[in-house]
A and B are shown apart, each in its own frame.
Chain A
């Protein structure tokens, strides 16, 4: 019988309490010394063949018979009132079937607003109208014929301008709102008592996700049921959003996401495009596709907020005495803000600390979660400041961190960590990079105008996961297995690791396990975000597989007329003392049947703090004539509990490092203040790293010790940890190499040259 229990989970730096339904008892974590068949083994992705042959169907590959194509008219102004819309000419165009806008669209609740098409458009790219046509070209042409009467309103797009006094007030309470605050000890006094104080301002620019598959949906209403194919990290979240917007019951909405071309946080829930596609489909009775273009993706599909951060940090006698951190983040028209002070609050045991995080609204495209939202930005500032302090104190920056990184207790919530091996990460990383070679002031590079340096930074993140997450394991009469869950595989290898966990627990071959996910007709699966999938869905899969195994062994006991206790299931074969009988043979001896195992994730221990830890070390060369940074070597060490699949884990870390490299060196949205337009809304001028930007060497290491208090697998998440500390490690290496401190990410050549000039003027 299911029962309700109270649960406490961390999600992207926030703690949530909820009531969850669980059943039965959790499994104990595997005893030390367990010989696994599948877990902890490098396995090729089980969906690799589909992906390399082009057979994998992504949302953009869904073409349904009679499907209409939607294009969206977007505001060319950062702030304006839509006074009048004339669609007569557009509607007359051949192929055009319908036009929606604020004067004719049905009400649809979306993120606290009542409509999809606002009266006051608030950023360049805001939805004004949408056209459904027989083909995309007709829809594009129709957009040009829609006449809109805009009343222009004063706008502000820049973070620092929006904070200031002269900017227009976009909300009645002003543009700036306090979002989070934390205090312990007395930071003011700690700073006063310090012998050394760093007081510095850091900035990070807006990073655009640019998932290669743009946001989009195909909706099909058949008069009874709405089926929506959506490129999403959370099929169930999309269903919830559609229910809210369209007022349909859950039973009439099915959301599907089989293959998915990247999200990185930006595809966490329903999009306006899916609501628009659904509205058209329900009005016209035909399938409707609404997929964003690359430009729209860069305007209206989210971003990592630009931040302004002030840090004051004090040191005395080789220790940090106090830390003050204030952050302002440009959320555009977003309703929330990621918290850059999260790492400050939780990473080091510093007695005197005070932090504040502010949300700043502007007439720019809204933020959305971007892989470790807040933590990437905050870690850049925090870990740069700690290096600056160590420099001033004349101590080794790693040694300074060690003094504050060993505590077994979460300094913010006061609870014990379930497990923590941060000092071990430091040890491994220092050995791999050759930290002992680091010299204050750097070393000579490969040419007289090139300086070489080493730096490092620390990572903290959640990743402990939690309920709710459910899975079922169906065993067919031929011994093959179908594992079903509502989770998604967004490119992280979810299908593969879940199949490994299932095969391992059940005692069947990996090849015999098929995984079906990305479907709201499956048991509930959580959002693929917050590095929570392995630690949330994995334990549920293990329980479901165990449930199925118990039933199979019961069936085998009956067929073989042998006590169940004497039976084992190994690689699809039931093993008794004297005989080996394939599962297929046993199930084949009874009439048609399906054995169904069920599993749900059990709650976390509320007395523990579940975190992941890590450290990145970077070695760089800086061309002091051009300001160009060459990252020679990145060492990434992470403590995320047990590694389920070392090969895919390694890939994920390399990917995180490379996405961080973009944040650190080249990625930056440019907004024109006068017009509010994004000047680089494309992949030509927005600089995503290419293969040529990859450092000569990336070393990936894991502590790889199961976190026995985390969950029944001892595994935690890895999606976000590897993007968190890289930029700070690079900035610290640049400072070590040259003496120039670049306090604005990305560290472009211009910023490096400027910092070099400042450093030279000081010396």
Chain B
């Protein structure tokens, strides 16, 4: 579909909800989530694809939402940190992060969790190395990595 140069309507599914947003062609999924939809759980840390804090799932796969344009997601399903708890029950990865103390300041946490949620859909019993690979693109400045890896492995066990 031909787009721009101004804002156009983009149909998206965000956390299961079908909606239409106005977005200029250059607008990222990250800014759309945070500023248009008020979903501020997804964090902006570098805004240039180098830290992973803005990781969301697009059609099930993890992407850096700061490097993904909203218009490129027409008709696609986006899942964010706000959407993975179901019926008031935390997602097993969220639960595992709390139990393993897998965060300190928590600013990278939504991105870390989304990367592991994506991993678990592909691989229900990840090893420590599998988790490391999954979050290799997610920086944590507090150094919670050892606990993040533990949380990823235990979330796999807990899902069964």
The answer to whether A and B assemble together is: yes
Name the one of B51, B98, B149 contacting A691, with C-beta atoms under 8 angstroms.
B149
- By the criterion CB–CB under 8 Å, are B101 and A651 in contact? yes
Q: How far is the CA of A737 from the CA of B149 in the complex (A)?
A: 29
- By the criterion CB–CB under 8 Å, are A683 and B104 in contact? no
Residues B1-57 near A (CB distance < 8 A)? 34-35, 38-48, 50-51, 53
Please judge, given known A-B contacts A63-B38, A294-B45, whether A491 and B50 are in contact too, CB under 8 Å. Answer: no
Interface string of B111-137 (1 = CB under 8 A from A): 001000000000000000000100110
- Nearest B residue to A61, CB-CB: B40
User: B90: CB under 8 A from chain A?
Assistant: yes
- By the criterion CB–CB under 8 Å, are A658 and B143 in contact? yes
Kindly list chain B residues whose C-beta atoms are within 8 Å of the C-beta of A294.
45-48, 50
Please judge, given known A-B contacts A213-B45, A293-B47, whether A48 and B141 are in contact too, CB under 8 Å. Answer: no
Interface centre among A209, A655, A682, A692 (most CB of B within 10 A): A655
- By the criterion CB–CB under 8 Å, are A261 and B43 in contact? yes
- By the criterion CB–CB under 8 Å, are B145 and A49 in contact? no
Q: State the majority secondary structure of interface residues on A.
A: loop
Q: How far is the CA of A52 from the CA of B50 in the complex (A)?
A: 21
Q: How far is the CA of A44 from the CA of B109 in the complex (A)?
A: 16
Kindly list chain B residues whose C-beta atoms are within 8 Å of the C-beta of A654.
143-147
- Nearest B residue to A52, CB-CB: B94
Q: How many residues of A contact B (CB 8 A)?
A: 53
**B interface, how many residues as a size bin?**
35 or more
- By the criterion CB–CB under 8 Å, are A63 and B143 in contact? no
Kindly list chain B residues whose C-beta atoms are within 8 Å of the C-beta of A689.
143, 145
Q: How far is the CA of A294 from the CA of B52 in the complex (A)?
A: 13
User: B156: CB under 8 A from chain A?
Assistant: no
- By the criterion CB–CB under 8 Å, are B141 and A210 in contact? yes
For chains A and B in complex, what number of residue pairs have CB atoms within 8 angstroms?
157
Q: How far is the CA of A52 from the CA of B96 in the complex (A)?
A: 10
Q: Closest approach, in angstroms, between the C-beta of B116 and any C-beta of chain A?
A: 11
Kindly list chain B residues whose C-beta atoms are within 8 Å of the C-beta of A93.
none
Q: Closest approach, in angstroms, between the C-beta of B70 and any C-beta of chain A?
A: 14
Kindly list chain B residues whose C-beta atoms are within 8 Å of the C-beta of A658.
143, 145
Kindly list chain A residues whose C-beta atoms are within 8 Å of the C-beta of B43.
58, 60, 212-213, 261
Q: How far is the CA of A58 from the CA of B41 in the complex (A)?
A: 9
Q: Closest approach, in angstroms, between the C-beta of B62 and any C-beta of chain A?
A: 15
Kindly list chain B residues whose C-beta atoms are within 8 Å of the C-beta of A214.
45
A261-B105, A491-B106 known; 19 other A-B pairs, CB under 8 Å? A45-B101, A51-B109, A52-B97, A53-B41, A54-B39, A56-B106, A211-B141, A294-B45, A294-B48, A294-B50, A491-B142, A650-B101, A651-B101, A654-B147, A655-B142, A684-B50, A688-B141, A689-B145, A691-B140
Name 22 interchain pairs, CB-CB below 8 A, sorted by A. A45-B103, A49-B90, A52-B103, A52-B109, A54-B41, A54-B82, A54-B110, A209-B141, A212-B139, A212-B141, A213-B45, A261-B107, A262-B142, A294-B46, A491-B103, A492-B104, A655-B142, A659-B141, A682-B50, A683-B51, A691-B138, A691-B149
Those 7 A-B pairs whose CB atoms lie nearest each other, nearest first: A54-B41, A491-B105, A658-B143, A261-B107, A655-B143, A51-B106, A61-B40
